[in-house]
Amino acid sequence: MIDKRPFSDLGRFQNDWLNARYHFSFSNWHDPTRMGWGALRVWNDDEIAPNSGFPPHPHADMEIITYVRSGAITHQDSLGNQGRTEAGDVQVMSAGSGIRHAEFNVEPETTTLYQIWILPTTRGGEPGWGAKPFPKGDRAGQFSVLASGLGDEGALPIRADARVLGATIRGGEALSYDADPQRHLYLGVAAGEVVLNGVELGPRDGAAITAEDLLKIEARSDAEVVLVDCA
């Protein structure tokens, strides 16, 4: 089963510095049919204006993955962590028993990113943060595991029964992913146009997937995709 979520149908929020689209209910946008997908609770598509961002605010009991598509985001938190994550890189924050953080775009250009929240397997625990570059050339034509709670080597660790993967695909080429039909998968098209098991997806569309044992992703144009595979 594949449920296409066109970009035009996503929840919306916009102010003077943030233009956001919500794949699932978030903040003041509520859709009772889109409260999450398995352990995946939030998938926000954010555009953050230059020299602006999210001021310090708290989180607890959530695994938060940031996938930067263009520009860069600068992180600071109550543990003393600081870091700049640029396009192609990924950061993760395990909120655990509680953490405060701020995320700012200090660049001269708009930053675009996916903000993905996944429910942890257990509540509480020490909070933590980490970031890592994932060169797009290393995931050309294949999925690379970016973040994982399943022991995938080289991935940023998260405390969830989930993995987050990324791939780039040249137009006219395809890749496959072996899926467990009992798990929940969600695909976001960061750029380009693809066909997922016969379903056409355009730029910034999403697709909720279950009861599929194989995903075949064919690129109609040069494409970049992000996939969450969770309980």
State the pairing for strand pair 144-148/156-157. Answer: parallel
Which residue is it, tokens 């098991």? Answer: 197
Please spell the DSSP secondary structure of 107-154, one letter per residue: SSS-EEEEEEEE--SSS----EEEEEE--GGGGBTS-EEEEESS--TT
Q: Give me the pLDDT at residue 107, please.
A: 98
Of 77, 135, 125, the residue nearest 101 (C-alpha): 77
Closest to 228 in 3D by CA, of 177, 194, 193: 177
Q: Are 130 and 99 in contact (CB under 8 A)?
A: no
**Residue spans per domain, the chain:** 2-230
Kindly list the distances between the CA atom of residue 168 and the CA atoms of 32, 147, 222, in Å, as whole numbers in the listed order: 33, 17, 8
The whole-number pLDDT of residue 185 equals 98
Distance separating alpha carbons of residues 3 and 230, to the nearest angstrom: 16
Residues 6+ apart with CB under 8 A from 123: 61
How far apart, in whole angstroms, are the C-alpha atoms of residue 164 and residue 230?
9
Other residues' Cβ atoms within 10 Å of the Cβ of residue 181: 12
pLDDT value of residue 68: 98
What DSSP designation does 204 have?
A: T
Instruction: Give the bridge partners for 18, in sequence order.
Output: 48
What is the reported pLDDT for 152? 98
Span 171-222, pLDDT tens digits: 999 999 999 999 999 999 999 999 999 999 999 999 999 999 999 999 999 9
Residue 151, pLDDT score: 96
Range list of H helices, 145-195: none
For residue 208, the model assigns a pLDDT of: 98
- Distance between CA atoms of residues 129 and 211, nearest Å: 33
Q: How many C-beta atoms lie closer than 10 Å to residue 166's C-beta?
A: 23
Domain 2-230 has CATH 3.30.1370.60: no
For residue range 38-74, list pLDDT tens digits in order: 999 999 999 999 999 999 999 999 999 999 999 999 9
